[in-house]
Amino acid sequence: MTESVRGRKAEEISGAIRQPKIKLCGLTRSCDIRAANELKPDYIGFVFAPESRRYVPPEKAAELKQMLDPQIKAAGVFVDEDPQVIEDLVRREVIDVVQLHGREDEAYIHSLRERMGSSLIIQAFSISTEQDAKTAEKSSADYILVDSPGGGTGAVFDWKLLRKISRPYFLAGGLTPGKAGDAIHTLRPYGVDVSSGIETDGYKDRDKMAEFVLAVRQANGGAKKHALYSAQDPSD
C-alpha cells in the first residue's frame, strides 16, 4: 500500500470515527450549569416531566439556560406533553432540542415539526426485545435514544439487542464513568446520555460529571488509534 493511499484510508477512518456526542441530563441547579460550562458536553438536559425527581419548572429552566454556554445545546425532556407547551419553550429559547420519553406517535412528531420548524427531535425507546429495537429504528425523529426498560432507572440493558440498528442513536441506561469506555468501544454510539450515573445522593456530582466526560473522550481516542493502526498494510 502506497503512502498516499494509506494516508487517505486512515483519514477516511479517522473522519468516520468522530467524537461521540455527550449529553448530561437532569440538571437542576446553577452549580450543575457551571460544571457543564467547564466540561463542554454537547448537550445538557432539563426534565419537564412533573413526576420526575429531576423536574425543573419552566421558569427555573429559563434562568439556568441563561447561564449556559451558548455552544452547549439544552434538551427538554417530556412525557406525553401538550405540543403547545413544547413549542412555547422552543420559541422562548429555553430549549434547543426536544426529547420525547412517553407514548408519542408519528402523528405527534409530525405535529411538533409543523410547530417548531428545524429544531431537533430525539425519541426515546425502552429496549427489552429485538422488536423494540426494530420499532425504534423506524421512528421519524431526527435521532433515537435507546434506554433500559422503565427509563431513568440507572440499569444497563442487553446491548446485543442493538446489533441490528443501523441508524445513529444515543445510548442511555446505567452509564457511569466506569462503563462509558466499554459503551464507546463496544457500540460506537452516535452519543451517550447519562443522569443517575453522575449523581451522588440524588444530586449531580461535579467530579463524576468530569470523570464521565473524560472517560468518553479518552475511550474515543483509543478507538481512533485502533482504527488507524488497523488501516496499516500488514506487509509494511
The region, left, alpha or beta by phi > 0 then psi within -120 to 50, assigned to residue 202 is: left
Return the pLDDT at 151. Answer: 55
Q: Are 48 and 56 in contact (CB under 8 A)?
A: yes
Exactly one of 32, 96, 147, 193 is catalytic; name it.
147
Segment 111-116 shows an average pLDDT of 92
pLDDT tens-digit readout, 13-65: 333 457 899 999 999 999 999 999 999 999 999 999 999 999 999 999 999 99
- How many other CB atoms are found less than 10 A from the CB of residue 25? 24
In terms of Cβ atoms closer than 10 Å to its own Cβ (0-12, 13-18, 19+), residue 124 is buried
Give 153's pLDDT tier (boundaries 50, 70, 90).
low
Task: Determine whether 31 is an active site residue.
Answer: no
pLDDT tens-digit readout, 59-89: 999 999 999 999 999 999 999 999 999 999 9
Task: Determine whether 25 is an active site residue.
Answer: yes
Give 220's pLDDT tier (boundaries 50, 70, 90).
confident
